[in-house]
């Protein structure tokens, strides 16, 4: 074998090794980033040997969750289960208010029991797409409240919401409300007094125009610059900023400071990646950070926290913050958005529809 043949063989081997090494490097580089390994400070569990009559079972040392015996598996064992999220214990949407509701008073011949009122309630509490509510004037407290067993009421009032994000109350929905309220009044021996339909529909359109012009739902898109992310990697980094797993796969939320209120921010990524058989191999190249402005009290500093969260995640996860069209969001753009939001907050305050208030949460829903 000549020296030339040997040299060519060696050169071919080197080229082949280089190609294999390059492919391995590219494969490793393009693989989704994985969450950091546990720090190892957890106590190890030692399983006792099974007796011959004992069936084998799987023991999982998870975080205890009050009020729940089981929870769905998570990508990161350090994250709390969805069932650990604060659960609202009461309806915080507020009572009927003439600012955003049509209210029809119902006079009674005498007192009515809460049990009778509950039995007479309409089967569905909606007229079209608008919520319907009936409240009673409590004999003892003198307060309007939803009918409760064991209480007695001297009067009732039925209401339907003038507008929400589906649009303004229309004539058909108003007529459906009248039918339901009349049926309830007949059942409790009451006499309803309905406002003029055309006046209320006109008021609904005016409120809907205002709400449409002052509704704001913001979103930032965080895009991976180089390597993609695994669901566990996203969850781990978001959890460090206070996010917890939501009910929907692929969604996390930043809880409000007060129990039962809507979350301050939402973070979402591909649901299919979250539900994959092997989430560690799922590649996520972008995630969305969202803020529903009218739903969150301005005292929570929602937009400032949204900016801080986006900047931190971009830095820690090697990403880029853009809008939904892929345009880079610069600091001056963020400042302009923040200034516009302050004006929006002031306008909502002037109409007694402050962001995060019960009325605002009902109107912008």
pLDDT tens for each residue of the chain, 365 residues long: 576 676 666 777 676 666 656 555 555 555 565 676 665 444 443 334 434 344 444 333 344 433 333 333 333 444 444 334 333 333 333 489 999 999 999 999 999 999 999 999 999 999 999 999 999 999 999 999 999 999 999 999 999 999 999 999 999 999 999 999 999 999 999 999 999 999 999 999 999 999 999 999 999 999 999 999 999 999 999 999 999 999 999 999 999 999 889 999 999 999 888 888 887 888 999 999 999 999 999 999 999 999 999 999 999 999 999 999 999 999 999 999 999 999 999 999 999 999 999 999 999 99
Please give the pLDDT value at position 195. 97
Determine whether 9 is exposed, middle or buried from the number of CB atoms within 10 Å of its CB (0-12, 13-18, 19+).
exposed
- What's domain 101-212's superfamily in CATH? ZipA, C-terminal FtsZ-binding domain (3.30.1400.10)
Please give the pLDDT value at position 261. 94
Domain 215-363 matching CATH 3.30.1400.10: the answer reads yes
Identify any residues that bridge with 107 across adjacent strands, giving them in sequence order: 155, 191
Please give the pLDDT value at position 279. 78
Please give the pLDDT value at position 274. 86
Give the closest residue to 251 by CA, choosing from 277, 224, 274, 219. Answer: 274
Name the region of 67 (left: φ>0; alpha: ψ -120 to 50; beta: rest): left
In the chain, at which residue ranges do the beta strands (DSSP E only) sit? 101-113, 126-127, 130-138, 144-146, 152-161, 163-164, 167-168, 190-192, 217-224, 244-245, 251-254, 265-268, 286-292, 319-322
First to last CA, the chain: 83
Q: Is 201 helix (H, G, I), strand (E, B) or coil?
A: helix
Give the residue extent of every domain in the chain: 101-212, 215-363
- d(Cα 320, Cα 286) in Å, to the nearest integer? 9
- d(Cα 259, Cα 242) in Å, to the nearest integer? 15
- d(Cα 274, Cα 284) in Å, to the nearest integer? 10
Give the closest residue to 285 by CA, choosing from 326, 246, 257, 255. Answer: 326
| Torsions phi, psi for 252 (to 5 deg) | -130, 155
- d(Cα 307, Cα 315) in Å, to the nearest integer? 12
User: One fold for both 101-212 and 215-363?
Assistant: yes
Identify any residues that bridge with 245 across adjacent strands, giving them in sequence order: 252
Q: Give this prediction's pTM.
A: 0.75
């Amino acid at each position: 074998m000549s020296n030339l043949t040997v040299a060519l063989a060696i050169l071919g081997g080197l080229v082949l090794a280089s190609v294999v090494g390059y492919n391995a490097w590219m494969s490793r580089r393009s693989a989704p980033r994985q969450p950091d390994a546990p720090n190892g400070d957890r106590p190890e569990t030692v399983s006792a040997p099974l007796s011959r009559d004992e069936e084998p079972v799987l023991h999982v040392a998870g975080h205890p969750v009050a009020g729940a015996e089981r929870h769905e598996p998570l990508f990161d064992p350090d994250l709390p289960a969805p069932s650990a999220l604060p659960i609202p214990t009461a309806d915080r949407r507020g009572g009927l208010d003439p600012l955003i509701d049509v209210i029809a008073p119902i006079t009674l011949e005498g007192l009515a029991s809460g049990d009778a009122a509950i039995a007479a309630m309409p089967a569905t509490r909606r007229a079209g797409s608008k919520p319907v509510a009936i409240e009673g004037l409590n004999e003892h407290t003198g307060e309007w409240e939803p009918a409760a067993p064991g209480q007695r009421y001297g009067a009732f009032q039925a209401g339907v919401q003038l507008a929400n994000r589906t649009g303004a109350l229309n004539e058909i929905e108003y007529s459906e409300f009248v039918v339901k309220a009349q049926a309830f009044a007949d059942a409790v021996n009451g006499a309803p007094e309905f406002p003029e339909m055309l006046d209320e529909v006109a008021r609904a359109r005016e409120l809907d125009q205002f709400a449409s012009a002052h509704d704001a739902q913001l979103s930032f898109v965080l895009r991976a610059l180089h390597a993609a992310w695994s669901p566990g990697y996203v969850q781990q980094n978001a959890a460090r900023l206070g996010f917890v797993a939501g009910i929907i796969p692929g969604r996390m939320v930043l809880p409000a400071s007060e129990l039962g209120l809507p979350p301050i921010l939402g973070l979402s990524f591909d649901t299919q990646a979250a539900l994959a058989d092997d989430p560690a191999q799922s590649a996520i190249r972008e995630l969305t950070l969202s803020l529903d402005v009218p739903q969150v009290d301005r005292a929570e500093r929602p937009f400032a926290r949204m900016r801080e969260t986006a900047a931190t995640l971009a830095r820690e996860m090697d990403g880029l913050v853009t809008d939904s069209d892929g345009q880079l969001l610069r600091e001056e753009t963020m400042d302009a958005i923040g200034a516009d939001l302050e004006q929006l907050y002031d306008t909502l305050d002037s109409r007694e529809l402050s962001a995060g208030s019960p009325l605002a949460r009902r109107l912008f829903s």
